[in-house]
Chain A
Amino acid sequence: AQSVSQHNHHVILSEAASLELGCNYSYGGTVNLFWYVQYPGQHLQLLLKYFSGDPLVKGIKGFEAEFIKSKFSFNLRKPSVQWSDTAEYFCAVSSSASKIIFGSGTRLSIRP
């Protein structure tokens, strides 16, 4: 069965600090990987996605993620965070069975 682990439950950073959020998945077959963001009081929005090709994926708002197949990881990065990045971030995996399974989320707090 598919599963997704996000080990960082709450990350607190100062503005301009660099960000890396971890995501590991377990599934032996071909997977599609996603990062979603949920701003306070809002629904989930897509940040970026990986299906195939270049393992370094660039998304919106300066976010990027790297797919490392050997480590079953898809970590999210941003070189310099802003206060407006305060949100909850979810990693998700989808297999050919069409289900999309989410991790438990990482709450990101940015100090002005």
Chain B
Amino acid sequence: NAGVTQTPKFRVLKTGQSMTLLCAQDMNHEYMYWYRQDPGMGLRLIHYSVGEGTTAKGEVPDGYNVSRLKKQNFLLGLESAAPSQTSVYFCASRGTGVVTEAFFGQGTRLTVV
């Protein structure tokens, strides 16, 4: 099973450029999440989705947009990248059963110069 797959794995952007990170899961999970990981700050929730066609803001949503047009995909967009968005981005998915945990992708290392 592929689980949660993120593309790309690495990317360097210039300030002001835009890009989209793709997250795909094959576990038929309802919930999907985007986090950023920065040294000393843990994982901070950017946006999340509780089902196809829904999105909600997390702890640090500014500068990002998301879309969940298909249940298996959750896209994270940066319209105008800034150096402060240099980070490692993790996508996760989770089922809606009683005892469920989140499954994570391998991460995307993004550098904005």
Contact = CB atoms under 8 A, between A and B. Distances in A.
Contacts of B43: 44, 90, 102, 105
Contacts of B98: 51
A9 B48 contact: no
Interface string A1-43: 0000010010000000000000000000000001000000011
Interface stretch (A64-72, A75-83, A93-101): A93-101
A interface majority secondary structure: loop
Contact of A101 (B31, B45, B101, B107): B45
A44 B99 contact: no
The range of chain B's interface size is 20 to 34
Contacts, number: 49
A46 interface: yes
B12 to A, nearest CB: 19
Nearest to A9: B40
B50 A46 contact: no
Interface of A: 6, 9, 34, 42-46, 49, 51, 90, 98-105
